[in-house]
């Protein structure tokens, strides 16, 4: 039986300017010995803060991640960042396929899969987001949608060392709504089953995060669900006062 170390990851989205560096410093200070013994912490700031936070994070053992990368290694792609550029900032991971990028930039599963390969080539861990829409949830199609996205958004060769999956129901992101614990457990069980069926026993080491309106008040319940190996946190990751108590659910 593989033991997976929990991961609480913060996605700052399009939030954060130089003034936010002090808040990140508070997150680093709060990641104390007791927390470090139990749970990994990661923050994905906007690209403008990647290099700075990577330096501030030195010594704290908090990992830094990009929020996206381009599938190509370089070229005429104005405004984009390659995975190598993300890695060059000192980041060790990159989020790919977040539902906001899928919606705002028309990202397909195939493109997400290509980004995962780009991330791996640059030595980054890919944090791959999948999740159903509100309509799909209401229609009872959640498992079908999630299984399909999982298949189509992942290239061959996934291991626990290079990939993390975040199940993020779109209707739960930033809404204050969350699925029932039963529903989260069912999806995570189905994801684990699908991963092991495709990638073999090594997929037991892949961490499966839940994301969508995780906050200090519900963290204990959600992070206690079988096969939930941590959380991807949006809004509540912006402040040490709300981010750290989520991680402390593991103490």
Binding site for substrate: which residues? 11-13, 174, 213, 234-235
Catalytic (active site) residue 156: no
Catalytic (active site) residue 84: no
Are the CB atoms for 245 and 27 separated by under 8 Å?
A: no
Marked catalytic residue, from 70, 98, 137, 188: 98
**The one among 45, 160, 169, 211 contacting ligand PEP by CB under 6 A:** 211
Site string for ligand PEP, 148-187 (x = CB under 6 A): --------------------x----xx-------------
Residue 209 pairs in a beta bridge with: 166
Candidate segments 34-42, 58-66, 183-191, 209-217, binder of ligand PEP by CB under 6 A: 209-217
* Residue number with CB closer to ligand PEP (41 or 199): 41
**The one among 213, 225, 228, 247 contacting ligand PEP by CB under 6 A:** 213
- Give 44's contacts (C-beta < 8 A, 6+ positions apart): 9, 10, 11, 12, 64, 65, 66, 67, 93, 94, 95, 127
Helix H or strand E encompassing 164: strand 163-167
Fill in the DSSP letter of residue 246.
Answer: H
CA 106 vs. chain centroid, Å, equals 19
* Residue number with CB closer to ligand PEP (167 or 250): 167
**The one among 11, 82, 142, 149 contacting ligand PEP by CB under 6 A:** 11
Marked catalytic residue, from 100, 107, 132, 168: 168
Residue 208 pairs in a beta bridge with: 165
* Residue number with CB closer to ligand PEP (176 or 224): 176
- Give 210's contacts (C-beta < 8 A, 6+ positions apart): 166, 167, 168, 184, 188, 222, 223, 225, 228, 230, 231, 232
The residues carrying an active-site annotation are 98, 168
The contact set with ligand PEP (CB under 6 A) reads 11, 13, 168, 173-174, 211-214, 232-236
């Amino acid at each position: 039986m593989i033991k997976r170390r929990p991961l609480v990851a913060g996605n700052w989205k399009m939030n954060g300017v130089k003034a936010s560096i002090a808040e990140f410093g508070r997150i680093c200070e709060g990641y104390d010995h007791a927390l470090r013994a139990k749970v990994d912490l990661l923050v994905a700031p906007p690209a403008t803060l990647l290099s700075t936070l990577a330096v501030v994070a030195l010594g704290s053992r908090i990992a830094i991640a990009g929020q996206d990368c381009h599938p190509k290694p370089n070229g005429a792609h104005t405004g984009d960042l390659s995975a190598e550029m993300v890695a060059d900032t000192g980041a060790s991971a990159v989020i790919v396929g977040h539902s906001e990028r899928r919606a705002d930039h028309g990202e397909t599963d195939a493109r997400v899969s290509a980004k995962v390969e780009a991330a791996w080539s640059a030595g980054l861990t890919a944090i791959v987001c999948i999740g159903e829409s509100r309509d799909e949830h209401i229609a009872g199609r959640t498992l079908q949608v999630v299984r399909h996205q999982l298949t189509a958004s992942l290239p061959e060769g996934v291991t626990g060392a290079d990939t993390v999956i975040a199940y993020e129901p779109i209707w739960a992101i930033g809404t204050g709504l969350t699925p029932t614990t039963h529903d989260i457990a069912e999806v995570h069980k189905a994801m684990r089953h699908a991963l092991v069926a495709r990638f073999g026993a090594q997929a037991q080491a892949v961490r499966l995060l839940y994301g969508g309106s995780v906050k200090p008040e519900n963290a204990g319940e959600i992070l206690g669900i079988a096969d939930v190996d941590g959380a991807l946190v949006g809004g509540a990751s912006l402040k040490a006062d709300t981010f750290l108590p989520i991680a402390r659910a593991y103490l």
